[in-house]
Structure 1
């Protein structure tokens, strides 16, 4: 993206100025901040700080989501993931405020072998034997979101159909005794959280991490990166080459794809209900719900 050439302290976002004032250790680590460039992000506000001592990423929580995330659990899991060489180490973290500072990453690219590189990264994480703080249960996550939206007035027919489908999935898994072995999981493998350079792949934003079904990270990666069939094969083959456990069966992975889309749709509807951009988030939800129902029709 183009970088401004004449940014002055007066041009820096007020939230960044407030964070620097509240956390003087950040200024000691960065030196004087010359620029604060907003980065993409839905859950948090992220800025690339250009400062006397280098470039940094500053993560600030949005008001709407500030109290909904276990930041202490996130910090514990981030330390573990950094030890595995998968996460950018925290230079400064305030769990109570949700403020995080890391070094910035430059020379980002989207290589042709991205599916394989993501598969190797997740295989290393899932097969590490580490124990993350917290648990991410996809069905419980869906149920909690659905309860929060019980009075939501938009899309009533779609939500009733979705509820019946998710309950059917839960019953099928209960009958089949498909309880997975839980593994340390990132929980939000969207493209914006996967920073790829010529030499490394870094996973950022560990706020939804926890012990989970390995199918969650796998399905979410395939969906959010838009892998075609050949890329999905490459991704799963790379994962299989390093992970301790086998790749989930096709039927379970397909169900998890639908769960991930359903949860993403409900998350977007939660944003609408909280007063955020209605057109943007309602459109996001409709796209995800359509994928769930299209997948059901074609299965």
Structure 2
């Protein structure tokens, strides 16, 4: 059986025309990646120049994983070259890998904490996100069949968040459990007022969302480039903007800069004020949803440790996931009290 290095080399050179195994100079694995093994492949092209590409191999081997990867590849073809790397190749399985595998452009930029970014960079990110949200999506409907109004999307997302509650259990620390339950009560109460908001009762169409624009999924080169589109969906643009504001802890000046870029590139322009209004409701919701997502990863790792097995979807220690839960809860509390860890009730 071929070792992983040889398989990565062989697949990469089958995926791009100007690569050959004997001209590959280096294969190195990136440290990050929750559900994928990601490799940088460097090689000499036919004219002697150095080229780089990325091979991403799924660690999930099931039919659902293949369907999700195929959907992501379809989205990448739509946004590549501006908001995302170029996609060179995608296969659900091959003679080298029995799992979904992609070959794509290597982006030389690095991720960074957005809260420390200059206003002009945040404005550039707003422009990229606005461009994505303004794309026509008729060709994506078959991949995202659950479309509807912003109100229906809001209710579906809330139900999705609530379904993660069984992961809030012992031995998750009791103070963390209490904070999660308090946050749930706060958001559940706010849902009643959201249902009465005029900004949720519009005729807007749902837009394409990246789905996870966290710090690790934004590479900063000449412009911000979004990677890892596996959670892409059709949804309320306010959901994604609120996610960016809350997850990154953007300051008031940074938020203004983001909106400048967003307004400049968002097409069509109608309903923008409704989007701005809905962001206020979505921000605590996205923080709670993210906290529960990390709780779910903590739960999977805890179960795997107890059973003495490996869960590829939760490869890190429980403490890693717990830290991310607490970080989201601190941000959630700051929205209501201005102080992390303070009670919100």
How does the TM-score come out when normalised to structure 2? 0.71
Which ranges of structure 1 fall in alignment gaps of 5 or more residues?
Answer: 1-9
Q: Which of 38, 47, 52 matches 1:46?
A: 38
Q: Which of 156, 164, 187 matches 2:211?
A: 187
Counterpart check, 1:79 vs 2:77: yes
Instruction: State the alpha-carbon separation in 1 of the partners of residues 182 and 62 from structure 2.
Output: 28
Q: Which has the larger radius of gyration?
A: 2
Q: What count of residue pairs does the alignment treat as equivalent? A: 284
Matches within 5 A, 1:73-222: 73-82=71-80, 85-95=82-92, 97-106=99-108, 112=118, 113-131=120-138, 132=140, 133-134=143-144, 137-147=156-166, 149=167, 151=169, 153-154=171-172, 155-176=176-197, 178-179=200-201, 181=204, 182-198=206-222, 200-222=223-245
Which ranges of structure 2 fall in alignment gaps of 5 or more residues?
Answer: 46-50, 94-98, 147-152, 302-315, 339-343
CA contact (8 A) 2:194 2:281 kept: no
Instruction: State the alpha-carbon separation in 2 of the partners of residues 267 and 65 from structure 1.
Output: 21
Aligned partner of residue 56 in structure 2, secondary structure: strand
CA spacing shift, 1:49–1:184, aligned 2, 3 Å: same
Q: Deviations over 1:75-131 (max 9, x none)?
A: 221111127x32222111124523111121225587732111111111111112224
Aligned partner of residue 37 in structure 2, secondary structure: strand
CA spacing shift, 1:62–1:170, aligned 2, 3 Å: farther
Instruction: State the alpha-carbon separation in 2 of the partners of residues 266 and 64 from structure 1.
Output: 24
CA RMSD of superposed structures (Å):
3.1
Aligned partner of residue 219 in structure 2, secondary structure: strand
Using the TM superposition, give the Cα deviation of residue 221 of structure 1 relative to its aligned residue in structure 2, in angstroms: 2.0
Instruction: State the alpha-carbon separation in 2 of the partners of residues 65 and 189 from structure 1.
Output: 25
Instruction: State the alpha-carbon separation in 2 of the partners of residues 213 and 38 from structure 1.
Output: 35
CA spacing shift, 1:197–1:294, aligned 2, 3 Å: closer
Instruction: State the alpha-carbon separation in 2 of the partners of residues 79 and 16 from structure 1.
Output: 27
Aligned partner of residue 33 in structure 2, secondary structure: coil
Instruction: State the alpha-carbon separation in 1 of the partners of residues 221 and 41 from structure 2.
Output: 19
Using the TM superposition, give the Cα deviation of residue 234 of structure 1 relative to its aligned residue in structure 2, in angstroms: 0.5
